[in-house]
Structure 1
Amino acid sequence: MTQSISLKVPEELDHPLFFPEKETILEKKRYAGWSGTIPFEAFPYELLYYNNVEVYAPWTKGAMHINELLEKWKEIDSECSLLFSERKVGQTLGLMKQGIGLFLTAVFWMHGKPVVLSDFRAKMESFTNIPVNLIERLSFILAKPAFFHSYRQLSELFREFEKQYVKFMIKNKKSQKKRLS
């Protein structure tokens, strides 16, 4: 039997796109460790963390999980692309929400931080490995998540982020080698 717990949406994650309700339910046991797959719930690790529930904190090893986030986006990207090409715009919101969530997760985790939605602009200003004009572009996407232009922006942000991630990993490998020698 799985143990589901009811959680208040913390101030840090209060955003109408992801949490129109002020409470959500999660299976705590699922997030005690890394399951090897990205969950579809929005920010489950952060929800538990901000509610002071002890769980795995993937942002402490964020760079390790980024490839998986990027792979998940590629699946969502191809589904969105197909829906938009078939003019089934009404069916894209759920996928776009997942994609936006993955992108935010990737950016925050790469910087070793849990996702913060309520003040993401201020938090991201201190981040170094991010695409150009990220905050403005993300604000546009969040304002109109089901629009084709938002999808194109998100797709482009992922492409640019992936390049930043590769540079980040190369730099980290070089600095690790220096420390070891």
Structure 2
Amino acid sequence: MTQSISLKVPEELDHPLFFSKKETILEKERFAGWSGTIPFEAFPYELLYYNNVEAYAPWNMGALHIKELLEKWKGIDSECSLLFSERKVGQTLVLMKQGVGLFLTAVFWMHGKPVVLSDFRAEMESFTNVPVNLAERLSFILARPAFFHSYRQLSELFREFEKQYVKFMIKNKNSQKNV
């Protein structure tokens, strides 16, 4: 039987798009290891980390998990595309929230850090493998997550990020061979 625990939403993750309340409930055991079925928009590993609860820290090996995150986005992307083409804009918010959560997770984890929402712009200044004007583009998306233009921007960010990820993996594979 899994035990649910109540956690405070830490300052680092305090953002109205993702957390409308100041507390959330998680099944701690579910995050003791890697789970490809986690709800990324809820940042469960980060919630546990910032609340000093021992759990798996995927950002320590983030590059290993990014391919999976990119695959998840492809499913969300096609669902969003369909909803926007059918003019069902009201149904896109949940998917966009998942997509933005995945994107933030991928960017932070590739740089070996847990996600920080509260001051993501400052955090991302030191990141090297990111799309151009990332902070501004993310701010636009976060301000209007259910808009078609936000979806197009997020889709483009994922495309650019995937290229950065491939370069990062090639570079790191070559540097490991030289060791």
Same fold (TM over 0.5): yes
Amino acid at match of 1:173: K
CA distance in structure 1 between the aligned counterparts of 2:38 and 2:21, rounded to whole angstroms: 22
Deviation at 1:34, TM superposition (A): 0.6
- Does residue 62 of structure 1 match 2:62? yes
Check whether the contact 2:33–2:55 (CA below 8 A) recurs between aligned residues: yes
Once the two structures are TM-superposed, the CA of residue 39 in structure 1 deviates from its matched residue by 2.9
Question: What is the alpha-carbon distance in structure 1 between the residues aligned to residue 33 and residue 21 of structure 2?
Answer: 26
Q: Secondary structure at the match of 2:7?
A: strand
Name structure 2 gaps, 5 residues minimum: none
Amino acid at match of 1:73: W
Question: Conserved in 2, the CA contact under 8 Å of 1:26 and 1:44?
Answer: yes
Q: Which amino acid aligns with 1:147?
A: F
Determine the structure 2 residue equivalent to 1:123.
Answer: 123
2:121 partner amino acid: R
CA contact (8 A) 2:40 2:105 kept: no
Structure 1 residue identity aligned to 2:142? L
**Identical-pair percentage:** 89
Map of 1:47 onto structure 2: 47
1:6-155 matched pairs, under 5 angstroms: 6-155=6-155
Q: Give SS of 1:45's match.
A: helix
Q: Give how far 1:36 is off.
A: 3.5
Cα deviation, 1:98-142, whole Å, max 9, x if unaligned, reads 000000000000000000000100000000000001010000000
Provide the C-alpha distance between the structure 1 equivalents of 2:137 and 2:70, rounded to a whole number of angstroms: 19
Deviation for aligned residue 1:13: 0.2
One-letter code aligned to 2:112: G
Structure 1 residues 170, 40: CA separation in 2 closer, same or farther (over 3 Å shift)?
A: closer
**Which portions of structure 1, spanning 4 or more consecutive aligned residues, are displaced by more than 6 angstroms?**
none
The alignment's TM-score, normalised by the length of structure 1, stands at 0.97
Query: What is the aligned partner in structure 1 of residue 167 from structure 2?
Result: 167
Letter in 1 for 2:131: P
Residues 38 and 69 of structure 1 are in contact (CA less than 8 Å); yes or no, is this contact kept in structure 2? no
Contact 2:59–2:110 (CA under 8 A) maintained in structure 1: yes
Q: Which runs of 5 or more residues in structure 1 are unaligned?
A: none
In the alignment, is the contact (CA less than 8 A) between 1:38 and 1:68 conserved in 2? no
